[in-house]
Amino acid sequence: MSVAKFTYPFRYVPTEDIRRAASELIARIDSDEHLRSLFSAGKMMGVLQTDSGFLYAFSGLAGGRSSVEGFVPAVYDYSDPQGYFRRSEAAISAMPEGPEKSRKSAELQEWLFRQYKVLNARGECLDVAEIFARRGIVPPAGTGDCAAPKLLQYAYLHGLRPVAMGEFWYGRPPGGQVREQGRFYPACRGKCGPLLSFMLEGLDVDPNPLDREFHVREPEIIYIDSDIIVVNKPAGMLSVPGKIPVVSLLERLREEYGRVYSCHRLDMDTSGLIVYARNMESRADIEEQFARREVKKVYRARLCASSVPFGRARKGTIALPLSLDYYDRPRQMVDFTNGKFAVTRYEVLSELPNGEIDIRFYPHTGRTHQLRVHSAHPLGLGRPIKGDTLYGSPESGDRLYLHAESIEFLHPADGDTMSFSDPVSDWDETTCGCSPSD
């Protein structure tokens, strides 16, 4: 009998056992006034299935404490007010601002990372500072306090074999982040990327889905002349070269047509119309049109169903500024202090019998993940786009249901209006454009 591989924590669909355990944990918290008060402000929770049952963890502290009955302990407990860390922290806080205070603070943080000694499945042990140093980077504050490393550390220390894992949100969403109670989310890359990569060594882990070979339909050339190329990009294809070892649309076009330049981008998971330039003059002209917000783009999307009624107007405008979630790239968050201006006009097309919503977007700006965040955030539409593994549920669809269906701009050579359209008639296999190989 074959044994299932362990969860790849950065892109996964939770197993039924993990879902059931998460639901039971939520019910336990909801029914316990003490636990509800500890976690209602919002917390990422983790569930680990082992060969001896389920383990539970929360990220960070709860009510200022690292230990709560029924949850695994912290990798290292720095919360004791009489402990070295808290006493040193208080002493540094009392110091006047200046180089000495900064030096002492950095030394204390370095000391703290040395206390987080974690195991992997081979029984090897390293501290957080060393794990990150091997990659030439410094760990962010809070590294080691997420639910996933707590769960794995406890399992290894007690001789338990990890079977599957999942992390989900409980309580109110934090700040401008897109979080919804009960939804599963991938582990963060900034804090947990290097750390979990080490801790999972020795386990038979599911491969990264992005490393799989995808059967992607051929991109369709909509228009071409000596200055521009307009292409219908399939979902699952990169617009430009990226971090994963697959051929991008830009590279394919260069193989066929020689010099081709990127003017704007679509996410790998987004399908639809995209424009490339065939010389630097055309590229500069089209990029300037984007900068002046003169390019008109329209997107079609499908929003996830929800147990909560939609409650938004059939037409409207979303204005939520966005900034990068530094410790969880490439996620974006709503940031009213430092975020960049982002505006999206929308129009609801239909509400389906299953509760999903077909919608059309008219973005006024072009921020990274703008439509995805404006859809999912509770101050936006409150419904993630179907198939969005970053801002919604990883199991919500076989692709991101977002399609750039039309684009209008001025031809860089003669100034004529160029308008192209590829409307979605149905979210069928042809529109999806990709599927993983066996």
**Residue positions annotated with a catalytic role:** 267
Q: Can you tell me the distance from the alpha carbon of 78 to that of 142, in angstroms, rounded to the nearest whole number?
A: 11
Burial degree of 168 (CB within 10 A; 0-12, 13-18, 19+): buried
Cβ-contact 298, 362 below 8 angstroms:
yes
Distance of CA 132 to the CA centre of its chain: 21
Helix (H, G, I), strand (E, B) or coil at 147: helix
Q: Can you tell me the distance from the alpha carbon of 98 to that of 428, in angstroms, rounded to the nearest whole number?
A: 61
Measured from the Cβ of residue 127, the count of other Cβ atoms closer than 10 Å reads 19
Which structure tokens are listed for 268?
């790998």
DSSP string, 393-434: -TTS-SS--EEEEEEEEE-TTT--EEEEE---S---HHHH-E
369-404 as b/e, with b when 16 or more CB fall inside 10 Å? bbbbbbbbbeebbbbbbbbbbbbbbbebbebbbbbb
Q: Can you tell me the distance from the alpha carbon of 313 to that of 253, in angstroms, rounded to the nearest whole number?
A: 42
Q: In the 8-state DSSP scheme, what is residue 62?
A: B
Nearest-5° Cα angle at 353, 347 to 357: 25
Q: Is the dihedral of CA 125, 127, 131, 136 positive or negative?
A: negative
Nearest-5° Cα angle at 42, 38 to 44: 100
Cβ-contact 272, 422 below 8 angstroms:
yes
